[in-house]
Amino acid sequence: MGRLHGAKGERNPLCRPSERHRQNANEGLAYRALVDRVRSQLSNSTTRLALLSKVNEALELETRELAGQAHTDPLTQVLNREGLRAALMEKWPHPDASPEQFAVVFVDIDHLKKVDDTHGHSVGDKVLCALAAAIQRGIRASDKLARWDGEEFLIICPGTKAADAHLLGEKLREALSYQIWPHGLRVTASFGVTALQPGEVIGDAIKRADSALDQAKSNGRNCVRVA
């Protein structure tokens, strides 16, 4: 069998026309095989890249969802304490430094125990959800609402003075009286309001709002008290 190529694979100028034709055909086949191989590798790696980018997207989504879940109260879907802490840290990264003026409003459902005992825990849960939704509708987007504890919610209102937070408390209290509650219940809440004083940290204002809430409860409930 005559050789088509020299030692280095070069075309042999001495081969006959029929041999050259076979040589060309072989080269064409080899070239097509090479193109097919590269194309297939390219398409595989493109598929792999697309797949990796989809996996990355899914992981990022899951991470965001998990972070969201860690910051959200599963019942009412408002922030939990950790979510509030994270939101405040984002707004005011140095908790020991006095941040800008803001107000704190504590909201506590009146007699939720009676609702639970009379109508069942699931109705109590619905009341909590309806209250959280009503408050969320009544506050600004820049305000932060969190479920603080059981039947107690906390609102942080940036750039708000005590007098304005008092008005907000009254507006929310009134809104609850128009709310349609599960089982036709009549539900009220008590409010404790304060504003950050110069030199105070957030925790000081939260404690004072809590004691204002105690006053609202001891004054007969369904009212707003400012400290």
Ligand X SMILES: Nc1nc2c(ncn2[C@@H]2O[C@H](COP(=O)(O)OP(=O)(O)OP(=O)(O)O)[C@@H](O)[C@H]2O)c(=O)[nH]1
β-strand pairing of 144-149 with 102-109: unpaired
List 78, 112, 130, 216, residue binding ligand X (CB under 6 A) = 112
Q: Binding to ligand X (CB under 6 A): which residues in 72-91? A: 75
Nearer to ligand X, 110 or 143 (CB): 110
**Catalytic-labelled residue, pool 65, 90, 151, 170:** 151
Q: Can residue 124 be called a binding residue for ligand X (CB under 6 A)?
A: yes
Residue 174 annotated in active site = no
To which H or E segment does residue 87 belong?
Answer: helix 81-91
Instruction: Please state the closest distance from residue 81 (CB atom) to ligand X, in A.
Output: 14
Residues, the chain, total? 227
Nearer to ligand X, 74 or 198 (CB): 74
Helix, strand or coil, per DSSP, at residue 194: strand
Q: Which residue has the tokens 């941040």?
A: 99
* Cβ–Cβ under 8 Å, residues 154 and 110: no
Lookup: tokens for 176: 């609850």
The whole-angstrom separation of Cα 141 and Cα 57 is: 28
List 3, 37, 39, 113, residue binding ligand X (CB under 6 A) = 113
Q: What are phi and psi of 60, to 5 degrees?
A: -65, -40
Q: Binding to ligand X (CB under 6 A): which residues in 139-178? A: 150-151
Q: Which residues are catalytic?
A: 151
Chain residues in the site for ligand X (CB under 6 A): 75, 108-113, 116, 121, 124-125, 128, 150-151, 217, 221
